[in-house]
A and B are shown apart, each in its own frame.
Chain A
Amino acid sequence: KQEVTQIPAALSVPEGENLVLNCSFTDSAIYNLQWFRQDPGKGLTSLLLIQSSQREQTSGRLNASLDKSSGRSTLYIAASQPGDSATYLCAVIQGAQKLVFGQGTRLTINP
């Protein structure tokens, strides 16, 4: 059974710092991996989708990497801003479109 773990569960950093969020998964037989952002009381917003054949994806200040063989993905946020404060979730997609989520990392950017 696929298990997805995100570390740390919570992170607080000063504005302007670069930071890395981690996601690990136990079964490397995935089709792709997706990073989401969730603001309090809101649904999930897709940030980046990495296909299994890709190593990384970039969008603005965000860069996500994928290492299937080691079962790991990272989300790098450059020059963090208070507006980046949210919960970040990663999800792996396996066969038959089965999406398995991690529990999320709650990020706080302090002005």
Chain B
Amino acid sequence: EAGVVQSPRYKIIEKKQPVAFWCNPISGHNTLYWYLQNLGQGPELLIRYENEEAVDDSQLPKDRFSAERLKGVDSTLKIQPAELGDSAVYLCASSSRGTWNTGELFFGEGSRLTVL
């Protein structure tokens, strides 16, 4: 069974440019998460989807970040315009239960963004 797939793995852009990351969760997982991980830190939640609905986006900087999960499967995370401080690893994860008694989270390998 395929795991969580993310692309691109690496992206280098200049500041003020847009960037987009794509995530394909494990088949059948209705919950999808985007996390931000700075160097030497644990991941921090940006947004959580239950199917197509964004149920927790309180940590998403909405002035420049946007996300979508149109058909309840794949998701994209966009930054426009990117700033130097956005350089980090963007991790996607999925899980199989949509209730508070959650199952395990499964992570992709991440998309490493460098903003110059």
B70 within 8 A of A: no
A-B contact count (CB 8 A): 61
B43 within 8 A of A: yes
Main DSSP-derived SS at the A contact region = strand
Q: How large is the interface on B (under 10, 10 to 19, 20 to 34, 35 or more residues)?
A: 20 to 34
- Most chain A CB within a 10 A radius of its CB, from B43, B55, B91: B43
Pairs A–B under 8 Å by Cβ, sample size 25: A4-B42, A31-B101, A31-B102, A32-B102, A34-B105, A36-B107, A43-B4, A43-B6, A43-B109, A43-B110, A44-B91, A44-B105, A46-B105, A46-B106, A49-B103, A49-B104, A91-B105, A96-B56, A96-B100, A97-B100, A99-B33, A101-B43, A102-B42, A103-B42, A104-B42
Task: A95 to B101: give the CA distance in the assembly, Å.
Answer: 8
Interface residues of B (CB under 8 A from A): 4, 6, 31, 33, 40-45, 48, 55-56, 91, 93, 95, 100-110, 112
